[in-house]
Amino acid sequence: MRGLKNLMWVQFILYLREPAAFFFTLAFPLLCLLLFGAIYGNEPAPAFWGRPIGTVDASVPAYIGLIIGTIALMNIPIETAANRDSGALRRFRATPLRPITYLVASIAVYFLLALLGVALLVVVGKLVFNLKMAGSWPAVLAGFALSALAFFASGYVLASVARTARMAQTLGMLIFFPMIFLSGAGMPVQMLPAGLQEFSKLLPLSYVVKLMQGLWFGDGLAVIAMPAAVLCGLLAVGVVLSARLFRWE
Amino acid sequence: MHDEPVVVADGLRKRYGDLAAVDGISFQVERGEIFGMVGPNGAGKTTTVECVEGLRRPDEGRVVVLGLDPWRDARALRERMGVQLQTASLPQRIKVGEALDLFASFYRQAADGNALLERLGLGDTRSAYVSQLSGGQRQRLFVALALINQPEVVFLDELTTGLDPQGRHAIWDLVREMRAEGATVVLTTHFMDEAERLCDRVAIVDHGRIIALDAPATLVRQLGAQARVVFEVDGLQADGSPGPAPSRSSPTRASKDGAGQLNLASLGVLDGVLRVERAGERVVVYGQGDGLVSAVVHALETDGVRYWNLRTEQPNLEDVFLALTGHSDAAALGTAVTVAGPVVH
């Protein structure tokens, strides 16, 4: 794909020049980690979690879901819609650049940024709270990749549906903020009343949290099969829809 | 193959709701020429040129550019064409050099970005943010982006809107250089003088249709020899009568007590005068014959009118447009009113 490397580089640089987005995407989960880690510590709490793991150990995989959700439902729709509104995408359209190249470049950069966020969480978690992981790194990364790509594709669908940057921001917030609190990403689902726990099964982010936590703790196929399948379905639908709906203007 | 027209547009139509933005436009552009579409804002120029570029789809009609269909063969055509859009924009917080390198990477073959920036007088701005550039610099950057792939045909939409006179002249020189290097240029503009200066052939567009198409000099000549005598009078009021005493010093003629009354109707019936137009303080007398200037001056002197800046002007493209459409190019003339003489349609 011609222009892919250059476009990736430019997207990356432009993202670094936007400190506000940078902050929320990467620093917010870190702040959650430090805050709740300070409150609850990381001593094993089998009474709460059903097994001898600490709150921080259980929260880090959930915060990975937070990073993915922020990028997919906030950064992607807003940035895409803003570029469309300003006419920047239209100018691209007048060149031989193919839409797929633009999508791949953007998703690749967001993927790297998400990875950076995960790395920060893990490093801080280890240094400050003696973070432990029972699963295998390749499995965790594979689960992360599946979750990220499925959500990013959905983010581009949202970007195509929203008419303007303002609408993209509103829709993104409407969808994402409930998910923070009700899917287990921001706080454990166990803390929710039973009715809301049922509702959380409708939220895609819940499956990211379940998958990441399952892989983090080294749980077997029985636990991770269902969330993985749901996310594969989301990925397939997201890819097809985003390719079909993508608009330069 | 090199004798075939670079652009063929045939029977283009495009509606937006009730409005026929493009209402049956056909033209051809020959290789190596500068072809202009000129007309007031809203005439349909941008819609037409974007249909030709393949950015909009016409409701009816056929377009061929460099032998290709801009819609079906879009990618192949985009390799060979350059585009400068009216609503030109780049991602926020991008720098000049980054933008140029990025666009260069989209094409199979690209010119040397640095050399191009130098040529366009942007050599020093490579590491500046695009948002920091002045209007003229920005415009030149977008021209650079249109030329980065050394295109065979370049489309320029409203190239000099918002530029100061120096900037406009610089861009005009650039366009002539493009032609000198073998590119074909298709431009749109609402500035009549720009079209007249730059274009080998011009299509005058009004309300979605082409009402004239030829070399500017030919169009002007076909209008018939019609000279203009132009002057300014201080303090004209809405009914053509003078307002308070003039504020400027050194009138052309030694003043009598009180300024004379300017009677536009009496100018209109002079020998050789075809019509009189007034726009604000500027009066234009259209006519024929060698005695036109002296007749006007004599009438003004007889009435004791104070006038300034009297001059004669040759007919130009703007006159062609006025004659063909009967309404004025607002940007040039302000609110013009025909006071005397036959109504022109």
* Residue B2: inside a domain: no
| Token digits of residue A146 | 């599946």
* Residue B1: inside a domain: no
pLDDT tens, residue by residue, A123-159: 999 999 999 888 899 999 999 999 999 999 999 999 9
Q: Most B CBs within 10 Å: which of A95, A98, A100, A102, as the mutation test of the B interface?
A: A95
- B214 and B299 belong to one structural domain: no
* Residue B284: inside a domain: yes
Q: Is the CB of A10 less than 8 angstroms away from the CB of B145?
A: no
Q: What is the model's pLDDT at position B343?
A: 38
Task: Kindly calculate the radius of gyration of chain A based on its CA atoms and give it in whole angstroms.
Answer: 18
Q: What is the model's pLDDT at position B235?
A: 63
CB atoms within 10 A of CB B268: 18
- B24 and B38 belong to one structural domain: yes
ipTM above 0.90, yes or no: no
What residue type is B334 in one-letter code? G
Strand B201-206 to B34-38 pairing: parallel
Among chain A residues, the shortest Cα distance to B87 is held by A87
Which residues of A fall below an 8 Å CB-CB distance to B? 2-3, 5-7, 10, 13-14, 17-18, 82-83, 86-88, 90-98
- B309: enclosing H helix or E strand: strand B308-313
Q: How many A-B residue pairs are in contact by the CB < 8 A criterion?
A: 65
Cα–Cα distance measured from residue B318 to residue B192, given in angstroms and rounded to the nearest whole number: 6
Which of B175, B206, B221 is where one domain is finished?
B221
- B92 and B144 belong to one structural domain: yes
- B171 and B42 belong to one structural domain: yes
Cα–Cα distance measured from residue B91 to residue A87, given in angstroms and rounded to the nearest whole number: 9
A41 SS3 class? coil
Which of B166, B191, B221 is where one domain is finished?
B221
Q: What is the model's pLDDT at position A53?
A: 86
Task: Kindly calculate the radius of gyration of chain B based on its CA atoms and give it in whole angstroms.
Answer: 24
- B35: enclosing H helix or E strand: strand B34-38
Confidence band, pLDDT 50/70/90 cuts, at residue A47: confident
Instruction: Compute φ and ψ for B50, nearest 5 degrees.
Output: -75, -25
Residue B118 near residue B148 (C-beta atoms within 8 A): no
**DSSP for A74-105, written as a single string:** IIHHHHHHHHHHHTHHHHHHTSS--HHHHHHH
Cα–Cα distance measured from residue B232 to residue A79, given in angstroms and rounded to the nearest whole number: 54
Question: pTM of the entire structure?
Answer: 0.80
What mean pLDDT, rounded, does chain A reach?
A: 91
**B-chain residues near A3 (CB < 8 A):** 102, 105-106
- B213 and B242 belong to one structural domain: no
What residue type is B136 in one-letter code? G
Burial of A168 (0-12, 13-18, 19+ CB in 10 A): buried
Among chain B residues, the shortest Cα distance to A83 is held by B91
Q: Is the CB of A91 less than 8 angstroms away from the CB of B145?
A: yes
* Residue B97: inside a domain: yes
**B-chain residues near A6 (CB < 8 A):** 101-102, 105
Residue B2 near residue B31 (C-beta atoms within 8 A): yes
Residue A231 near residue A208 (C-beta atoms within 8 A): yes
Residue B205 near residue B38 (C-beta atoms within 8 A): yes
**A-chain residues near B93 (CB < 8 A):** 14, 17-18
**A-chain residues near B98 (CB < 8 A):** 10, 13
Among chain A residues, the shortest Cα distance to B91 is held by A88
What HEC string does A120-158 produce? HHHHHHHHHHCCCCCCCHHHHHHHHHHHHHHHHHHHHHH
- B193 and B263 belong to one structural domain: no
Residue A112's closest CA among A86, A157, A78, A148?
A148
**B-chain residues near A98 (CB < 8 A):** 75
Angle, to 10 degrees, between the axis of helix A99-129 and the axis of helix A55-70?
Answer: 160
**Look-up of token digits 């590491």:** B127
- B216 and B275 belong to one structural domain: no
Q: What is the largest CA-CA distance in chain A?
A: 61
* Residue B345: inside a domain: no
Buried b (16+ CB within 10 A) or exposed e, A19-30: eebeeebbebbb
Cα–Cα distance measured from residue B229 to residue B304, given in angstroms and rounded to the nearest whole number: 18
| Token digits of residue B111 | 């010119």
Domain that holds residue B276: 227-340
Residue B153 near residue B186 (C-beta atoms within 8 A): yes
Look up residue B124 and give its DSSP letter. G
Residue A140 near residue A43 (C-beta atoms within 8 A): no
Which of B191, B221, B251 is where one domain is finished?
B221
Residue A150 near residue A238 (C-beta atoms within 8 A): yes
- B213 and B233 belong to one structural domain: no
Residue B270's closest CA among B253, B259, B286?
B286
What mean pLDDT comes out for the span A231-240? 95
What HEC string does A58-77 produce? HHHHHHHHHHHHHHHHHHHH
- B147 and B108 belong to one structural domain: yes
Confidence band, pLDDT 50/70/90 cuts, at residue A33: very high
Residue A96 near residue A4 (C-beta atoms within 8 A): no
pLDDT averaged per 10 residues, chain B (length 345):
86 93 96 95 93 94 96 95 91 93 94 90 93 90 94 94 85 92 95 94 95 93 79 66 48 48 81 85 83 87 87 85 69 42 41
**B53, B75, B94 ranked by CB distance to A14: nearest:** B94
Among chain A residues, the shortest Cα distance to B99 is held by A10
**A-chain residues near B145 (CB < 8 A):** 91
Among chain B residues, the shortest Cα distance to A18 is held by B93
Among chain A residues, the shortest Cα distance to B149 is held by A95
Buried b (16+ CB within 10 A) or exposed e, B192-226: bebbbbbbebbbbbbebbbebbeebeebbeebeeb
Calculate the dihedral angle through the C-alpha atoms of A79, A85, A88, A91, rounding to the nearest 10 degrees.
140
| Token digits of residue B134 | 């002045």
CB atoms within 10 A of CB A57: 23
E strands present in A152-201? none
- B197 and B245 belong to one structural domain: no
**Domain CATH number, residue B188:** 3.40.50.300
Cα–Cα distance measured from residue A206 to residue A220, given in angstroms and rounded to the nearest whole number: 18
- B243 and B272 belong to one structural domain: yes
Cα–Cα distance measured from residue B287 to residue B276, given in angstroms and rounded to the nearest whole number: 9
**Look-up of token digits 């923070």:** A180
Cα–Cα distance measured from residue A80 to residue A165, given in angstroms and rounded to the nearest whole number: 8
Number of domains in chain B: 2
CB atoms within 10 A of CB B328: 19
Strand B227-232 to B209-214 pairing: unpaired
**B-chain residues near A90 (CB < 8 A):** 55, 85, 87, 89
Look up residue A24 and give its DSSP letter. I
Q: Most A CBs within 10 Å: which of B85, B98, B105, B147, as the mutation test of the A interface?
A: B105
Assess B91–A contact: CB distance below 8 Å, yes or no: yes
Which residues have CB under 8 Å from A14's CB, separation 6+? B91, B92, B93, B94
Q: What is the model's pLDDT at position B339?
A: 46
- B52 and B181 belong to one structural domain: yes
pLDDT tens, residue by residue, A66-77: 999 999 999 999
**B-chain residues near A95 (CB < 8 A):** 78, 103, 106-107
